A = this chain, B = another copy of it.
Amino acid sequence: MTQITRRGVLTAAAASAAALAPSIASPPAVAAAPPIGKQTAGFYRYKVGSIEVTAVTDGARTVPLPDGYVRNAAKDAVNAAMAAGFMERDKLTAPYTPVVVNTGGKLVVIDAGFGPATYEQTKGAIGQFHSNLAAAGIDRDAVDTVIISHFHGDHINGLLTADAKPAFAKAELLVPATEWKFWMDDANMAKAPPGSGLDANFRNARRVFAALGNKVTQYDDGKEIAPGITAVASPGHTPGHTSHVISSGNAKVLVQADVTASLAVLFVRNPGWHGVFDMDGATAEATRRRMYDMAATEKLLIQGFHYPFPALAYVEKDGAGYRLAPVPWNPTI
């Protein structure tokens, strides 16, 4: 019996790539079933005590790695981290995963994804949240409460349908008070250079909330804002960026939002790196280290908006950074 060796596997693989010689490998040409080409519906369900959580992906988008993606690390160092993490160099694939929380008394959505308008633009790469909600058996009209972590487009644009109508028509919309005050302040907006990303974000946030008649309930951190869901300030990414702890009995999960953002695993491994998307890099880093030190010590489960789907992992300390330990997929609930 031939045992596997490096040469053996490579030879075998080369053979398989070559033209087929007569053998059981070249049966008569029979049409197999056609490839299906469709991914499973992107939701994943789990319990936190008596609370049912459904992680629902909004998709993932791959773009060329921008220059200056990390403010305090060279592109070569970023690419080296990509390679070490089994990712392709010079490409950036960011996933997006809002969650739905059924507390028993309330059906709560935390963050809303890019919105269905983006689905067409990206050929289905992102903007999947509403269709995946439907696949998960969740009716948008049954949602009682929507909680927003911060005012970036990948978290708020999905508050609207493709024709800019309220997507969660019967829900109360909860937004961080600090975040609301910052983005709705005309003096702050006036300081943003016209045409800058910051300026665009002011305009986008105002567009989205205006389409909802600016009907929001502002919430403060440190408070339970829905049954079993407590707001926890985690500033830096934006001024009012807020995370949420879901708690039931002895069980608990930290819905971190963008404590690590974009291609989050890079910033898990390198918590001192300041991504260009963090408005205040030093504050974001301090928040990240404080929360991850706590999560590692406490073995606190984290639902990370930008972790790979289903975006549920522990963090452990590893050298100067951290490492994600994804929770094993449970095929039942």
Contacts and interface: CB of A to CB of B under 8 A. Distances in A.
Contact of A106 (B32, B42, B308): B32
Given A45-B39, A52-B37, A247-B17, A232 B24 contact: no
Interface stretch (A69-77, A151-159, A185-193, A223-231): A223-231
Nearest to A286: B3
Copy count, this protein chain: 2
Nearest to A248: B17
Contact of A331 (B20, B60, B299): B60
Contacts of A20: 224, 227
Interface string A10-40: 0011011100100111110111111111111
Interface of A: 1-6, 8-9, 12-13, 15-17, 20, 23-27, 29-45, 52, 54, 57, 59-60, 85-87, 93, 95, 102-107, 124-125, 128, 135-139, 142, 144, 174, 178, 217, 219, 221-235, 240, 243, 245, 247-249, 252, 254, 265, 287, 290-291, 293-294, 297-300, 308-310, 314, 325-333
22 contacts: A1-B240, A2-B222, A3-B287, A4-B234, A4-B291, A9-B254, A12-B230, A12-B232, A13-B252, A16-B229, A16-B245, A24-B217, A25-B223, A27-B106, A33-B142, A39-B330, A39-B333, A40-B42, A60-B331, A95-B331, A125-B331, A308-B326
